[in-house]
Amino acid sequence: MAYVSSDDLLDPRLGVLRSYNILDTPRERDFDDIVTLAARLCDVPVSLVSLVDADRQWFKAEVGLGCSETPLESSICAHVIRENDFVEIPDTHADERTRDNPLCAGEDGMRFYAGALLRTAAGVPLGTLCVLDRKPRTLTPLQRDALEVLARQVMTQIELRQVIASEAVLRNEMDHRIKNSLSTVAAFVRLERRSEEDPHAGQVLDRVAQQIDTVSLLHRHLSDGSQRRVDLAAYLGEVVKLIDQSQPPAVSVTGQFDPLDVEAREAANLGTIVNELAANAVKHSVGDGKGAIIFRGEALEGGRYRLTCQDTGSRPATTEPRSRTGIGLRLIAHSAQQLSGTVTSGHDGEGYRTEIIVTPRPV
């Protein structure tokens, strides 16, 4: 028997195979569907997406074999890679390449094999889409063509996943760099704040620094995950902690938020709303006195999210319910509008309360 050893498989090919990061990954329906279709089209009991590693062949998808890998010594697919072409073996017992193969031995062994190469755009063979039977046979020209077409579809799926993974790495790196850059800008703003004598200008710089911190925090959440989504419970909880740390000891800012995964843009709008609600509360209620700002986020039916801000100051609010105006309120209204939201606010028995119901797009 002409075994194919690992020495026959050139290291550059193995490097290319491993660069796809597909070995030992979970099963996926896209690949399972292809092997199922290949088995039906070729009227055989066994079909595999086989990737030939240094000392084994590993199956990204299989039907009819019942295992996830076999030793390289029983790999017929390794011969396809070596010959770099479509291989069909009508009777494995009559072919010198396979007559002593353990996979083909015995009454229940594989007697028929056909494999189409999984080849990269640069022509590097990674494995095969193959079909097997326990009795000798041959493929029709249509079945052979179908197997080669399906093999190209397997390779398209493999390459697509590599592109998606590469883009995710680049996005995460970009988010990490943006976060670091924003942290530097926020530090510069705070440095300017210390030398600012105008109280109004100082308040503006404080709010700018807070917003920068919130956006920086968002990019940290994005760089920490593989998905382009943000959990509101974790993100808004950290936003509230940042706000609380910037307040005098007599002023507390707390929050409790239901989890909801949303797109980054949706989370950014909600972060802006929380920042501006807190800034308004500090300006009109708690200020330099004692008080609390309490946030609550609740997931509602239909994908909606209710965000409330209740402030309880030690001094009376200096304004009537509808007289809180300024850029902060406009920012709140604009951010809520981006989320198809509504804003209601006014004094209640405990202070000033704002309720915003938005409809972010869950992901």
CATH number of domain containing 57: 3.30.450.40
Q: Whole-number mean pLDDT of the chain?
A: 80
Task: Identify the pLDDT of residue 330.
Answer: 78
- Does 180 reside within a domain? no
pLDDT tens by residue, 224-281: 554 557 888 988 988 888 888 877 777 888 999 999 988 878 888 888 888 888 888 8
Query: CA–CA separation, 90 vs 94, rounded Å?
Result: 8
Q: Which residues of 80-104 are buried (b: 16+ CB within 10 A; e: fewer)?
A: bbbeeebbbbebbeebebbeebebb
- Does 185 reside within a domain? no
Residues 153 and 251 occupy one common structural domain: no
Task: Identify the pLDDT of residue 145.
Answer: 93
Structural domain that includes position 143: 6-162
Calculate mean pLDDT across residues 139-156. Answer: 93
Residues 158 and 256 occupy one common structural domain: no
Last residue of a domain, one of 113, 139, 162: 162
Whole-angstrom Cα Rg for the chain: 31
- Does 130 reside within a domain? yes
Last residue of a domain, one of 162, 179, 199: 162
Residue 246 phi/psi, 5-degree rounding, is -90, 0
Query: CA–CA separation, 39 vs 113, rounded Å?
Result: 12
pLDDT tens by residue, 211-233: 666 666 665 656 555 455 788 89
Residue 21 phi/psi, 5-degree rounding, is 50, 45
